Amino acid sequence: MSLFFAYLSVAASLASGVAALATDHRVMLDRFADLILRRWPRQQDQAGVLFSERQFAESHRNSLFVLLGISGVFAILAGATAMLNGSVTTDTLPLGLPWLHWHIRFDALSGFFFMIIGMPLCAVSLFGPGYVQEFEHGKHSLTVLGLFTGLFVAGMELVLLADDAFFFVIAWELMSVSSYFLVAFQHEQASNRRAAFLYLLMAVIGAMAIILAFGVLAGFSGGLLFDDFRSVKLSPVWASVAFVLGLFGFGMKAGLVPLHAWLPEAHPAAPAHVSALMSGVMLKVAVYGFIRFTFDLLDQVMWEWGGVVLVIGAGSTLLGVLYAMMQHDIKRLLAYHSVENIGIIFIGLGLCIIYVSEGKSQIAALAMVAALFHCLNHALFKSLLFLGAGSIIHQTHEQNIEHLGGLIHRLPKLSVVFLIGTLSIAALPPFNGFVSEWLTFQAALQAGGIHSGVLRSLVPASASLLALAGALTATCFVKLYGVVFLGLPRTRHAANCHESPHRGMLAGPAMLAGLCVLLGIFPTPMIESLNIVTGQLLGDALPGASALGWLWLTPVAPEVASYSPSLVLVGILLTGWLCYRLIYRRGGLEARRAEPWDCGFGGLNSHMQYTATAFSMPIRRIFEPVFVVEETISEQKSGPDGFNTDTLHYQLRVSDLSWGYVYQPVAQLVITLSRWVSRIQTGNIRTYIAYSFFTLLILLWGIS
């Protein structure tokens, strides 16, 4: 039954793309009728006989997202059924190569990631119709957007179903290529074209690494089926080669530092609902690929691998949040936080590899549960934040947070939903982000029994970086929420905006916000269901996550650590009520409300507010070595001896350090090699004939 639901989910996604493609034929027929019959269709529309153009556009727009919503519902049903049953279902589709059909495998791990796809997809189906309305009569084709969105979702789902290398790579490329067209959707902007090219280039490089990793396993197993890979025994050297290739390929798609350069470029370029799916879902598909490859296909894991993954994860966590602190583009800021959260997930996976190599299967299961639960949590709150950012941009036409402000009075409902997302990503109790990070800390605290002294030092250091990143994340979202929603409007667009008339644009993020709260207060049922996944992957599970009852979370043992989100919630509500009684209703009198004191300046205005640049300046000064900072101040003076300042211009540009140390040297090397190779282009026909002649001789010599 679970596989049947998965097939229905893929079919609904493909149907969404086909429905978008079929729109062109209806549009052409409408235009032909309008050309031949002139005013008759308009008169008939007014009489109610035919659909008006507006009605057809609205019904088409809704049908695309209704199909995506159906796909999301079936994905949730498929995942929930697989996780409840704990069964492994296989199938073969008569597609692919004549001697190699597509092999399907649906287990608890695939089901869990199907749920990760389904929940944000349902929210996108509610959010999308109102958001894409602006594309209907503009220069961007809604047909193109709908077609590649459907293919993108179907590609992600097929990756989770693949049980052979050939099918996996096809699904992987479908996911990558279709998302390239979504990134390049608004292609009239040069920055979007650049972002799309960079994304496609790095996706191709990552896919090549994955193919080579599969090639190592195929070379020793003699087949392309994952069952063949599972049965092969590799030497430590070849296993390490395959692991490094897999880490590089899947890590590039996931956005690990320093392979993350495409991520902050591509996510701001795509439409908001696509950004939500890319950041909230596609990155988790890459995490799925890494988990499947490392813990399922490889016959062994080594503690050195865990150390590498742990270091890369900790570095991605810290650098991701530091780079996010410097951003003023709201979607770019959220994209860098995806780097940070992917780093948190890989910290958990690195700990899991270390504990598996040490033979501590139950602690390894705890680390795996922490990583998987954070995958789900990040999918929820990051999709929420990207959809919320899309609503802000849609209503204000501003993407720079320095041009916003005061939106809590103009978008009051959205401000509440967005606040839940910021509290969740900042890992504050009782929201879901806190639970998964707390589990990661609990896994790190069990490192005392590790035999290697290097790892015993490395694990606490990584946990310390995670704690620092958590504090910086809270700081960053105080900046984001304060600058965007509080204070006074900084521009006319921010002052004149209002809530969207499309209820779905609020309903989609609100649904995700409700899930963030629900999983934060009642995480135990989901965590216990993840024991099925760890049982299939690692052969063990948590000893008793609910030893004190389902309201308590005890990942290791009750005497070691316990957490009750419901009691924390009660304490927060009680504290809030007491503060209200003591501060606002002291002595039974209402507090007097008045304008704040303006220090005698004659009224506060938006120029007196704290800016995002000023807020993040102390962090930039402290961590300046990890940034490339270009800071210029130009001043024009007048009067005697230049005493009076007429104008003052301040310009600040903070860049990613990896561009200068990783990507620009590689680009320069490619340009140098290209110039060297271009010397063979002499323009002389006799030289070209000589090239062909000697090439033929070399080939004949090699064949013979």
Q: Is the pLDDT of residue 210 over 50?
A: yes
H or E stretch at 285:
helix 283-291
Task: Tell me if 527 is assigned to some domain.
Answer: yes
Task: Tell me if 54 is assigned to some domain.
Answer: no
Structure-block tokens of residue 659: 């561009």
**Residue 103: phi, psi to the nearest 5?**
-100, 135
Q: In the chain, helix, strand, coil percent, each to 5? A: 75, 5, 20
Arithmetic mean of pLDDT over the chain: 86
Structure-block tokens of residue 570: 């009660």
Alpha-carbon dihedral sign for residues 328, 330, 335, 341: positive
Q: Is the pLDDT of residue 679 over 70?
A: yes
Q: Torsion angle, CA of 289/291/295/300, rounded to 10 degrees?
A: 80
Q: Is the pLDDT of residue 361 over 50?
A: yes
Does 466 share its domain with 322? yes
DSSP 14-59: HHHHHHHHHHHHHHHHHHHHHHHHTTHHHHHHHHTSS--HHHHHHH
Q: Is the pLDDT of residue 187 over 90?
A: no
For the ranges 19-33, 338-352, 558-572, 626-640, the lowest mean pLDDT is seen at 19-33
* CA–CA gap between residue 149 and residue 100 (Å, rounded): 28
Does 634 share its domain with 536? no
Alpha-carbon dihedral sign for residues 131, 137, 139, 145: positive
Q: What is the pLDDT of residue 29?
A: 45
Beta bridge partners of residue 631, listed in sequence order: 652
Q: What is the pLDDT of residue 621?
A: 87
Does 639 share its domain with 537? no
Q: What is the pLDDT of residue 59?
A: 61
Residue 605, SS3 per DSSP = coil
Q: What is the pLDDT of residue 54?
A: 54
Q: Is the pLDDT of residue 655 over 90?
A: no
* For residues 318-328, average pLDDT: 92
Is-contact 520 432, C-beta < 8 A? yes
Beta strands in 243-349 (DSSP E): none
* CA–CA gap between residue 269 and residue 284 (Å, rounded): 20
- Name the pTM for this structure: 0.89
* For residues 676-704, average pLDDT: 82
* CA–CA gap between residue 563 and residue 541 (Å, rounded): 19
* CA–CA gap between residue 176 and residue 172 (Å, rounded): 6
Does 540 share its domain with 627? no
Structure-block tokens of residue 176: 């990558």
638 confidence band (pLDDT: 50, 70, 90): confident
Q: Is the pLDDT of residue 60 over 70?
A: no
Q: Is the pLDDT of residue 117 over 80?
A: yes
- The whole domain housing 374 covers 311-544
Task: Tell me if 614 is assigned to some domain.
Answer: no
Q: Is the pLDDT of residue 651 over 70?
A: yes
* CA–CA gap between residue 41 and residue 50 (Å, rounded): 7
Better-scored residue on pLDDT, 139 or 13: 13
* For residues 62-87, average pLDDT: 90
Does 325 share its domain with 435? yes
Task: Tell me if 213 is assigned to some domain.
Answer: no
Q: What is the pLDDT of residues 84-101, one digit of tens each?
A: 888 889 999 888 777 788
**Residue 557: phi, psi to the nearest 5?**
-165, 150
Q: What is the pLDDT of residue 239?
A: 93
Last residue in a domain, options 514, 544, 574: 544
- 94: Cβ–Cβ under 8 A, 6 or more apart, which residues? 101
Q: What is the pLDDT of residue 138?
A: 64
* For residues 367-372, average pLDDT: 94
Question: Cα–Cα distances in Å, from 568 out to 106, 436, 522, 565, 586?
Answer: 38, 16, 12, 5, 26
How many other CB atoms are found less than 10 A from the CB of residue 328? Answer: 20
**Residue whose tokens read 């999709």:** 383
* CA–CA gap between residue 393 and residue 400 (Å, rounded): 9
Q: What is the pLDDT of residue 40?
A: 41
CB-side neighbour CA atoms (13 Å) of 605: 6
- 511: Cβ–Cβ under 8 A, 6 or more apart, which residues? 122, 123, 126
Does 332 share its domain with 473? yes
Better-scored residue on pLDDT, 139 or 668: 668
Is-contact 612 479, C-beta < 8 A? yes
Beta strands in 65-143 (DSSP E): 89-97, 100-106
Structure-block tokens of residue 394: 């849609």
Is-contact 431 516, C-beta < 8 A? yes
DSSP for residue 580: I
Residue 557, SS3 per DSSP = coil
348 confidence band (pLDDT: 50, 70, 90): very high
Is-contact 79 115, C-beta < 8 A? yes
Task: Tell me if 684 is assigned to some domain.
Answer: yes
587 confidence band (pLDDT: 50, 70, 90): low
Q: What is the pLDDT of residue 672?
A: 86
Q: Is the pLDDT of residue 37 over 70?
A: no
Is-contact 45 52, C-beta < 8 A? yes
Task: Tell me if 212 is assigned to some domain.
Answer: no
Q: What is the pLDDT of residue 44?
A: 45
* For residues 391-403, average pLDDT: 90
For the ranges 208-222, 434-448, 504-518, 672-686, the lowest mean pLDDT is seen at 672-686
Question: Cα–Cα distances in Å, from 582 out to 199, 482, 579, 588?
Answer: 55, 25, 5, 9
* For residues 464-486, average pLDDT: 93
Nearest to 421 by CA among 495, 499, 330: 330
Q: How many helices (H) and strands (E) does the chain have?
A: 27, 4
Q: How many domains does the chain have?
A: 2
Does 509 share its domain with 652? no
H or E stretch at 279:
none
Does 517 share its domain with 664? no
Is-contact 506 128, C-beta < 8 A? no
Last residue in a domain, options 544, 567, 586: 544
Task: Tell me if 424 is assigned to some domain.
Answer: yes
**Residue whose tokens read 């988990």:** 291
For the ranges 70-74, 256-260, 558-562, the lowest mean pLDDT is seen at 558-562
Does 399 share its domain with 533? yes
368 confidence band (pLDDT: 50, 70, 90): very high
* For residues 428-434, average pLDDT: 91
Better-scored residue on pLDDT, 576 or 55: 576
Percent of the chain with pLDDT over 90: 46
**Residue 91: phi, psi to the nearest 5?**
-160, 165
* For residues 530-556, average pLDDT: 81
Q: Is the pLDDT of residue 588 over 70?
A: no
Structure-block tokens of residue 307: 């150390």
| Burial zone of 669 (CB within 10 Å; 0-12 exposed, 13-18 middle, 19+ buried) | exposed
**Residue whose tokens read 């296993």:** 239
Q: Is the pLDDT of residue 47 over 60?
A: no
Q: Is the pLDDT of residue 28 over 50?
A: no
Rama region for 427: left / alpha / beta (φ>0; ψ in -120 to 50; rest): left
Does 505 share its domain with 632? no
Task: Tell me if 507 is assigned to some domain.
Answer: yes
End-to-end CA distance of the chain: 56
351 confidence band (pLDDT: 50, 70, 90): very high
Last residue in a domain, options 489, 509, 544: 544
Better-scored residue on pLDDT, 49 or 422: 422
Structure-block tokens of residue 350: 């690195």
Q: Is the pLDDT of residue 71 over 90?
A: yes
DSSP for residue 555: S
Q: What is the pLDDT of residue 586?
A: 56
Q: What is the pLDDT of residue 55?
A: 55
Cis preceding-peptide flag for 430 (omega within 30 of 0):
yes
Q: What is the pLDDT of residues 295-310, one digit of tens each?
A: 999 988 998 999 999 9
* For residues 526-551, average pLDDT: 82
Percent of the chain with pLDDT over 70: 91
* For residues 566-577, average pLDDT: 87
Q: Is the pLDDT of residue 628 over 50?
A: yes
* For residues 331-346, average pLDDT: 94
- For the ranges 136-150, 501-515, 572-586, 592-606, the one whose mean pLDDT is highest: 501-515
